[in-house]
Amino acid sequence: MGKNAIALFYCSDGFNPFHHIISQGSYSIWAQSSLILNLPHQLRSKTGTTLLLGLISGPRAPKKLNKYNEVIVNELVQLKEGLATSCSHCTVNDINHPLRQDTTFPSGATEDEVVIKRSTEDEKAEARYLDRLLLEKRQQG
**pTM of the predicted structure, to 2 decimals:** 0.52
pLDDT of res. 70: 92
State the average pLDDT for the chain. 77
> What CA–CA distance (Å, rounded) separates 65 from 41?
28
Report the run of H or E that residue 8 belongs to, with start and end: strand 8-15
Neighbours of 117 (CB within 10 A): 9
For residues 16 and 26, the answer to whether their CB atoms sit within 8 Å is yes
What average pLDDT does range 59-63 have in this prediction?
Answer: 83
Percent of the chain with pLDDT over 70: 72
- Write the pLDDT tens digit of every residue in 65-101: 889 999 998 888 887 776 665 665 556 667 777 777 7
DSSP state, 127? Answer: H
Q: Give the Cα-Cα-Cα angle 92, 98, 99 (nearest 5 degrees).
A: 50
